[in-house]
Amino acid sequence: MSIKMKNVSYIYGKGTPFETIALDNIDLEINDGEFIGLIGHTGSGKSTLIQHMNGLLKPTSGKIFVDGTDITEHGVNLKEIRRKVGLVFQYPEHQLFEETVFKDVAFGPMNQGVGAEEIEERVKWALTEVGLDYDSIKDVSPFELSGGERRRVAIAGVLSMHPEVLILDEPTSGLDPRGRDDILEKIKSLNSENGITVVLVSHSMEDVARLSDRLIVMNRGKIILTGRPREVFKESKLLMSVGLGVPQMTLLFERLRERGWDVRDDVLTVEEARDDILKKVGLDA
C-alpha cells in the first residue's frame, strides 16, 4: 500500500506565542512493499510526520493519499485507514491494560467486530510473528512479562489488525542488544515475507543502514535527503551539519564493542568513520 504526501505542513499551537512549524511543505512518496528508515535529529519532525500517515494528525495544509484516497477529505473512514496503517508508538507497552496477553492483542480486532474464531487465529498469528509462544503466553498478565516481551505483545496488538503498513517509532529503545536485534529481524521478515510496508523511525544509523531499502532524512520539518542507505551515507558533511554524524557513529561503535567487536578509538575523520560503518554493515562493496 502506498502513502503520498503533497505540500504537507503542520503547525503546533498555530496563532499562539508557542507556534512551532513541525512539518514544512513535505512532499513524500512511500511505495507498496518498501522498507523505509526515517532518521533525523531530535525535534526534526519524525513523530509528527508518522502521525499524519494514518490520519492521527491532520495537516495544517496539504494533502495525504493512502492507497490513492485523500485522507484529509471530510467523510473519510479514518478507522479503516488506521487499521490499514498500523502505528506503534515509542514504548508501546505502556498502553497495555488488559488482564491477559490474549485480551490485549485481541483488543483491536474485537473493536472492529471481527468474529471470535478469526480473532483467535489473528492473535495466534500476531504473537507467533513477534516470536512469542501462543499457548504459554496467552493467559499470562502482561504485567508479569519482561520489558522485551511486553514490547512484543504491544507490537502484536497492532499486527492483529492485519495492517498493510507498519510504522514503528524507535521500537527497540530501552531493549538489550539481543532483544533489539531479534525484534528488528521480525520486523524485517514482516516486510520481506509478508509484504508489509514498513516505516522505521530510528536513531541507530547501523540499524537503518542494514534494514532499509530507502532512507528519509529530516531536519527542521523538512526532508533534506532521501535515497538508498549507501547514497545517503555518502553525504557525510550534510548529515554532520544536521547533527546526524559523529554522535550516531559513536553510538554505533559502542554497540559493536558491546558485541565484542574490535573497534578503533582513533577515527579521525568523518570519511574514515563513514567507511568503517559501511564496511561493518556490509555496504562497502
Ligand X SMILES: Nc1ncnc2c1ncn2[C@@H]1O[C@H](COP(=O)(O)OP(=O)(O)OP(=O)(O)O)[C@@H](O)[C@H]1O
* Residue 49 or 66 with smaller CB distance to ligand X: 49
Residue 113 Cα to chain centre, angstroms = 27
* Residue 44 or 197 with smaller CB distance to ligand X: 44
Sequence-distant (≥ 6) Cβ neighbours of residue 31 within 8 angstroms: 2, 197
- Decide: is 219 part of the binding site for ligand X (CB under 6 A): no
CA–CA distance, 117 with 103 (Å, rounded to integer): 14
- Decide: is 40 part of the binding site for ligand X (CB under 6 A): yes
Share in percent of the chain as helix, strand, coil (round to 5): 45, 20, 35
Q: How far is the CB of 28 from ligand X (least distance, A)?
A: 14
* Residue 42 or 269 with smaller CB distance to ligand X: 42
Q: What are phi and psi of 27, to 5 degrees?
A: -115, 130
Stretch that binds ligand X, among 46-54, 95-103, 126-134, 188-196 (CB under 6 A): 46-54
- Decide: is 20 part of the binding site for ligand X (CB under 6 A): yes
Of 85, 79, 21, the residue nearest 50 (C-alpha): 85
In terms of Cβ atoms closer than 10 Å to its own Cβ (0-12, 13-18, 19+), residue 17 is exposed
Q: How far is the CB of 78 from ligand X (least distance, A)?
A: 20
Residues 69-88 that bind ligand X (CB under 6 A): none
* Secondary structure element (H or E) that encloses residue 252, with its range: helix 246-258
- Decide: is 202 part of the binding site for ligand X (CB under 6 A): no
Exactly one of 16, 17, 42, 117 binds ligand X (CB under 6 A); that residue is: 42
Exactly one of 26, 30, 36, 48 binds ligand X (CB under 6 A); that residue is: 48
- Decide: is 191 part of the binding site for ligand X (CB under 6 A): no
- Decide: is 43 part of the binding site for ligand X (CB under 6 A): yes
* Residue 46 or 122 with smaller CB distance to ligand X: 46
- Decide: is 47 part of the binding site for ligand X (CB under 6 A): yes
Q: Which long-range contacts (CB under 8 A, 24 or more apart) does 226-231 make?
A: 229/37, 229/281, 229/283, 230/278, 230/283
- Decide: is 12 part of the binding site for ligand X (CB under 6 A): yes
Q: How far is the CB of 107 from ligand X (least distance, A)?
A: 25
* CA gyration radius, the chain: 20
Q: How far is the CB of 89 from ligand X (least distance, A)?
A: 10
Strand ranges in 72-130 using DSSP code E only, listed in sequence order: 85-88
Residues forming the site for ligand X (CB under 6 A): 12-13, 20, 22, 40, 42-48
